[in-house]
Structure 1
Amino acid sequence: MVVLSRAELLRNGIGRGALSRRVRSGSLHRLLPAVYSTTPPSYEDRCRAVVLWKPAAVLSHDTAAWLWGLLEVEPVTVHATVPPSDSYRGPDWSVLHRRRISTVVYRDLLPVVTAEQCFVDVATTLDTEALERFVDHALTRRVRWRAVAQACDAARGMHGVPAVREQLRRCCPRTLSEPERLVARALARRNFPLEINGEVGPYYGDLVDRRGRVIVEIDGREFHIDPHTFTRDRVRQNDLVLSGWLVLRYSVATVMAQTDEVVDQIVTEVRRRRRARA
């Protein structure tokens, strides 16, 4: 796949008439004004086309997040940011935002905003549920919490900053599965956060409350079905109970179908244990 400008094609000896004929025949694809591709374009090809079309453009929002590996699903729309004075009229698959960008970095030779700026950008394009998932996964894998907080300070006044600050207050990184993350998030929304993947002696708990000595475990069937794992789990459970811990265990199916009920029980039992231990 090659993305080329009209000027490059003309320099390569393709005349204007031949260029038009190739577009009509399908051997060339017109992506943007004066930008073509030699085969049907991929998403990344469209990113390169936007940068070729607007040399001052910097890929941003969902596009930059995907290029940084912070979004698991490839976006449909190519987002880029151009200087405030720029004018444009592109196809439906591209959106250009106007603002000045102070820091530009490169991913696969493409200009993009920083990974931290992606948080502020996608807060204006993702719904609340998708933004929660994005923040939790990104802080788990690639980006430091403090760096995102600093980016919010630097971007003070931008539209997405309040939403990102709220996410930083309630984020739940380091969860090992989506059901664990859903429970941790539900608890955080109730201002009742528990420690995630807390170390308890030689073991780790999915969610841990040390004041009440409560551990919450969310079990996926595929991880507990073989005899060795089954036996090891019983040994672990007995050790924790004999050490004074209450272990609440829920299946993935129960968590996904009855999240509110699960969280209600966790909050009730943790509070009861805290009062009893006090």
Structure 2
Amino acid sequence: MPAATSPDTPAVAAALALAAQQGGVVSRRQVYRLGVTRWQLRGQVRARRWQLIGDQSVCLHNGVVSDVGHRWAAVFQGGPRACLDGAAALVAGGLQRYEVERIRVSVPRGARVRRTPLYDIRQTRRWSAEDLVRAGVPRTRPATAAVRAALWVATDRQATYVLTSTVQQGLATAEMLGREALRIRRDRRRALVHAVVADLLDGARTLDEAEVVRELARRGIPAPTRQVLRRGTGGRYYLDLCWPDHGVVVEIDGIHHGWVEQVVPDAVRQNDLVLAGDRVLRVPLLGLRLEPDVFYGQIERALAAGSRPAA
């Protein structure tokens, strides 16, 4: 357990109250403004009741610094115009099931950068005061942070995941991401971000089916019949790709197929097809972008399994 600090003066009591709102961490500027003197701060640190984080922050206990505390310390280290950015901003804003390896902090071009191995503090031309959320720890708003995170993460898989998770968890809409994506002028991952956002908007469905057909031909897989009309328990519907002679159906799923209101209709539709003797493969658009060989290989194996049995 961290050693408690006694609020033996009004200044220390005020510092403790502020730290309680910031994960146990205050900046040197804050603590001095509250009336704690430099010699008092040094005394607390030497007595191992407080601990320094970098050269700009103080943790007002001697235990493990919390994630929230590190976020505040990272911003304090960056200076008065610093903000959490990318994945760090998303997690601070509520993104779940995402691990941040190193907190990213953005400052505007020309700002003084106090380097530290603890945090990734960088100048960026993308910094804008209009993008900031100032309630709580300063950070970029979710849509901006998601697109920047997608540009900065190590792999295309991570980029796709962070964009998709932002929409699925309700931090931003696909339309918001689309507007942010249009702000990208130059980046090696610009095309990927635009493609994933298009999937999230579900606005390029027909185009993506055409891309799948072209890729099937390139791999030497027989051409499917597209938009086949079927009738089932839920009424009439069209199949995306179908090989009637083989009894194979491929359904291409946009992001909306993962939403709650679509789960039951999709299940009814798939069960109807299975009961009619078809082998149904579900192929998510995001899966085609991340693991194309896996999904095209599954289609090829299904077709190689043989023709539909005679009725």
In the superposition, the TM-score normalised over structure 1's length comes to 0.63
Unaligned runs of 5+ in 2: 1-22, 203-207, 217-225, 253-266, 306-311
Is residue 2:240 matched to residue 1:210?
yes
* Post-superposition offset of 1:86: 0.7
How do 1:27-46 residues align onto structure 2 when only pairs under 5 Å count? Answer: 27-39=49-61, 40-46=64-70
Alpha-carbon separation, structure 2, partners of 1:138 and 1:10: 38
Alpha-carbon separation, structure 2, partners of 1:118 and 1:262: 31
Is residue 2:133 matched to residue 1:106?
yes
Alpha-carbon separation, structure 2, partners of 1:11 and 1:20: 16
Structure 2 residue corresponding to 1:150, chosen from 179, 190, 202 = 179
RMSD (CA atoms):
4.3
* Post-superposition offset of 1:216: 6.2
Match of 2:48 in 1: 26
Alpha-carbon separation, structure 1, partners of 2:294 and 2:193: 28
Unaligned runs of 5+ in 1: 175-183, 218-232, 273-278
Match of 2:39 in 1: 17
| Contact 2:167–2:174 (Cα < 8 Å) also in 1 | yes
The CA deviation string for residues 34-72 of structure 1, in whole angstroms up to 9 with x for no partner, is: 321113321221221233341211211121121233452
The CA deviation string for residues 10-40 of structure 1, in whole angstroms up to 9 with x for no partner, is: 4555432332232233211111323211133
In the superposition, the TM-score normalised over structure 2's length comes to 0.58
Q: Quickly say closer, same or farther: Cα 1:239–1:168, change in 2 above 3 A.
A: closer
Count of aligned positions: 228
Structure 1 residue corresponding to 2:279, chosen from 247, 256, 278 = 247
Q: Quickly say closer, same or farther: Cα 1:69–1:20, change in 2 above 3 A.
A: same
| Contact 1:104–1:111 (Cα < 8 Å) also in 2 | no
**Residue identity (%):** 18
Alpha-carbon separation, structure 2, partners of 1:131 and 1:246: 35
Alpha-carbon separation, structure 2, partners of 1:265 and 1:237: 17
Alpha-carbon separation, structure 2, partners of 1:23 and 1:66: 30
How do 1:166-185 residues align onto structure 2 when only pairs under 5 Å count? Answer: 166-168=195-197, 171=199
Alpha-carbon separation, structure 2, partners of 1:157 and 1:259: 26
| Contact 2:32–2:38 (Cα < 8 Å) also in 1 | yes
Match of 1:223 in 2: none
Q: Quickly say closer, same or farther: Cα 1:191–1:29, change in 2 above 3 A.
A: farther
Match of 1:52 in 2: 76
Match of 1:230 in 2: none
